[in-house]
Amino acid sequence: MVNLNISSIYSGISAKREKKAKLSSIQKINEVQYNLDLADIISLYNSIKRKIDFYNSQVKIYGLENKRFEITKRTYSNKEIVPSEYLAKEIDHYNFLNSITQLELEIYELRDAMLNKSKKAPYERLF
């Protein structure tokens, strides 16, 4: 003899619906978080590209600046300029070099932020 209990059948169906609804909710939350993370990563990537373009232009300018500073060194060694003028140009030269180094560091920081964001997976587990 088969004994059917309607309340246990209903509770089983209800539990299945709740589980399905919870899974669907988790999937939607994860999808939203994924899209937000993806937008952040794309933004960081674009920032890196802009910084690299600027860095490359600064490196080209530094090549010219370096040639100009070599001329300044020669004029100083020939005693055609006073030490204070040479020192001011030397400080400018090294400040420009430091600004390029700072750009490199900023690019690395952006890269690290992008990599950390892409490794981060705070998504709720489905099972």
pLDDT of residue 12: 80
Alpha-carbon torsion angle 99, 103, 108, 112, nearest 10: 120
pLDDT tens digits for the chain (127 residues)? Answer: 556 677 777 788 888 888 888 888 888 988 898 899 899 999 999 999 999 999 999 999 999 999 999 999 999 999 999 999 999 999 999 999 999 999 999 999 999 999 888 876 665 555 5
Q: What is the pTM of this model?
A: 0.71
pLDDT of residue 51: 97
CA 115 to each of CA 12, 49, 106: distance values in angstroms, whole numbers, following the listed order: 44, 15, 14
CB-CB contact of 90 with 71 (8 Å): no
